[in-house]
Amino acid sequence: MHYEFGKEWSSFIKDPFELIIDEVDDHRRVKSGTIIFKNGKIPIVDYIPRFHIDHGYVENWSIQWNQFRKTQLDSYTGYPHTGNRFWNNTKWKPEELAGKWVLEVGSGAGRFTEVLLEAGAKVVSFDMGLAVEANYLNNGGNDNLFLFQGNIYSMPVKDEFFDYVFCYGVLQHTPDPRKTIQCIYNKLKPGGKLSLDCYDKKWSFDPWHFPKFFWRPITTRMDLKRLYQVIEWYIPIWLPIDTFIRRIPIIGNFISTLTTIPCWNYHFLGVSSEEKQKWAIMDTFDSMAAKYDQPLSLEVLKEMTKTHEHKELEVFYGSNGVVINLTR
């Protein structure tokens, strides 16, 4: 955020405001200050406007994304996992996004923020917890990024403003998915495009689903830091064993499931063994710690979106569950 950031922010912030600057860095970016509205004010802390102060129900991701700040970034891994997921599922084209306003709902550490910025989009991105700080460290030097900490149910941005709205890996972790979809949809301009995904609801007996829901009644009640320590301890021991088991032809996944040991094993990823271990710790913690985890079936998601006005609507199985692509 430069000295001049007030003009750009006023394009999409829904209420008029006045900017009070306390500290600016050598790059003319506002590090601290206050944004004053008619009915209140919000602080800018470490470059980030804080429309929401506490972690709320996303404390686990505040821990996770600051611990694994770079793990999922394509620029760090050299493996286009995030880019492939983004372009294959949204079905958008990079040339479409250049110069367009994109709202990213739930940024995490900024894996998709990076993809959007590389395409030349103007990205308004937020998260409810301190993952925004990891995102700022990863992407904050880009003048096309407008990052804030905020709540999905009280977004301070204008309705019907954004050319594109993007929300992956979030919906199933919100208290009210139907309300979440409505809040996201409201920000999309007529003719704009929305893409969101959600875990698919299936209670299959496999190593990705069964151990997760077997243990969550216990792990979601544990102290988060203690849970992280337990996972960080056993994954390096168990991951090589689990990999050996899963590679047994035909019955490997079945045997791995029978162990009931949660282990998000990405042995098939084209990254180093060290990075696979980080991914395993990260996503095992993700699955065990989230307060809300509400997968939804394709049929339910279709029903949730059918009342929203749209020119085009596609609901399909994507790379991480069910994807909704909609043109308003």
Contact 305, 313 (CB under 8 A): yes
Residues 117 and 189 in one domain: yes
Same domain, yes or no: 59 and 167:
yes
Mark which of 50, 66, 85 sits at the end of a domain. 50
**Whether residue 321 sits in one domain with residue 235:** no
| Whole-number average pLDDT of the chain | 94
Q: Is residue 295 part of a domain?
A: no
Same domain, 46 and 57: no
Among residues 289, 286, 294, which one has the least CA distance to residue 220?
289
Inside any domain, residue 205: no
In a domain, 298, yes or no: no
| Same domain, yes or no: 35 and 139 | no
Give dist(CA 235, CA 263) in Å, integer. Answer: 7
For the residues 3-20, what does the mean pLDDT come to?
83
Same domain, yes or no, for 321 and 248?
A: no
User: In Å, how far from its chain's centre is CA 97?
Assistant: 19
Residues 219 and 276 reside in one and the same domain: yes
- How confident is the model at residue 53, as a pLDDT? 87
CATH number, domain with residue 308: 3.40.50.150
Is residue 110 in a domain?
yes
Do 152 and 219 share a domain, yes or no?
no
What is the spatial distance between Cα 25 and Cα 140, in angstroms, rounded to a whole number? 13
Q: pLDDT, tens digit, for every residue of 94-118? A: 999 999 999 999 999 999 999 999 9
How far, in Å, CA of 157 to CA of 267, rounded?
Answer: 41
pTM, rounded to two decimals: 0.95
**What are phi and psi for residue 207, nearest 5 degrees?**
-70, -5
Which pLDDT tens digit goes with each residue over 151-206? 999 999 999 999 999 999 999 999 999 999 999 999 999 999 999 999 999 877 88
pLDDT at 4: 54
pLDDT of residue 2: 47
Instruction: Tell me: do 196 and 214 sit in the same domain.
Output: no
Residues 297-307, mean pLDDT to the nearest whole number: 92
Which residues span the domain enclosing 6? 1-50
Answer yes or no: is 219 within a domain: yes
Shared-domain flag, residues 196 and 241: no
* Phi, psi for residue 98 in degrees, rounded to 5: -55, 120
Paired residues of 322 in beta bridges: 198, 317
Same domain, 138 and 163: yes
CA distance 103 to 234: 38
Q: Is residue 222 part of a domain?
A: yes
How many domains does the chain divide into?
Answer: 3
Element spanning 20, H or E: strand 17-24
Q: What is the per-residue DSSP string for 116-151?
A: HHHTT-EEEEEESSTHHHHHHHHHTT-TTEEEEE--
Whether residue 323 is found in the same domain as residue 260: no
Reported as a single tens digit per residue, the pLDDT across 204-255 is 788 888 999 999 999 999 999 999 999 999 999 999 999 999 999 999 999 9
The torsion angles phi and psi of 149, rounded to 5 degrees, stand at: -100, 125
In a domain? residue 297: no
How many angstroms from the chain centroid is the CA of residue 294? 15
pLDDT digits 0-9 by tens, 41-89:
999 999 999 999 888 899 999 999 999 999 999 999 999 999 999 999 9
- pLDDT of 5 above 70: no
